[in-house]
Amino acid sequence: MSNNMSSNRNRAIQSTSDYVYNTIRQAILTKQLPAGTRLVESKTSKELNVSITPVREAFTRLSSQGLLTVFPYKGTYVTIMSKKTVSDIFYIRKHLEAMAVEQGFSKLTEKDVSFYEELCVQADQAYDHDDLYESIHCDILFHEHMFTISGNILLLEIWNILKYRIESIQSYTKPAMNARMLARHQEMIEAARRRDQEGFVIALMKHLSSSQDAMVFPDEDEIQYI
């Protein structure tokens, strides 16, 4: 982890714990900390000029979100995603997003459709400026919006558990495929504008399947943490 990472977000407006968490999370998603990297609490605290406690809290939080993997008596590592893990995530994601559409689509307004378009434009601008972190953030907000307007709090809570793993997957796939978000989400936006729920779901599933098909991750028996 390079020392210049600590300047990526405004530390003044965050608690120390949030600052450490967000700094490490951003480093993972932008590949400053590649999968398989071993992290040491004392080294991280020195690099970020903080005490051990917020580093330990950040490690615990990131581990619960699937971004770090902890091996007792061995160490903490940036998680290496396996093919099976990714497949499991997409299986759950497809069903979860379909449920969100079922409960939220009828509540869509023109303002919501405009919000979708704005997110796509922001994501593409960020990607064009090599800001992968912001591009991923906009993409997640696009898919999260249906959960938000659904009004189903439990459904949103489950999404919030899954979305950090989705972010991690996107950090690998966006640079390797056509990452133009507007192009990849256009069919969904058009269906939303027509208030065509069935068309929206078809476009959504097509989008998710194409994303999954473009992924290359190792089998579980190929993964090694050194």
Supply the pTM of this predicted model. Answer: 0.90
CA atoms within 13 A on the CB side of 71: 11
Q: Quick one: 153 exposed, middle or buried, by C-beta within 10 A (0-12, 13-18, 19+)?
A: exposed
Question: Does 186 map to a domain?
Answer: yes
How confident is the model over 46-78, as pLDDT tens digits? 999 999 999 999 999 999 999 999 999 899 999
Task: For residue 20, give its domain range.
Answer: 3-78
Q: What gap in Å lies between CA 76 and CA 70, rounded to an integer? A: 4
Q: What is the phi-psi region of residue 137: left when phi exceeds 0, alpha when psi lies from -120 to 50, beta otherwise?
A: alpha
Locate 164 and state its tokens.
Answer: 């950090």
Same domain, 87 and 117: yes
In this structure, is residue 220 part of a structural domain? no
Nearest in space to 139 (alpha carbons), one of 198, 180, 172: 180
Same domain membership, residue 66 and residue 11? yes
**Burial class of residue 119 (count of CB atoms within 10 Å of its CB; 0-12, 13-18, 19+):** buried
Give a yes or no: residue 150 inside a domain.
Answer: yes
Say if 87 falls within a structural domain: yes
Q: How far apart are CA 189 and CA 72, in angstroms?
A: 46
CATH number for position 30:
1.10.10.10
pLDDT tens digit string along 155-208? 999 999 999 999 999 998 888 776 689 999 999 999 999 999 999 999 999 999
- Asked if residues 45 and 52 have their Cβ atoms less than 8 Å apart, the reply is yes
Pick from 78, 111, 133: which residue ends a domain?
A: 78
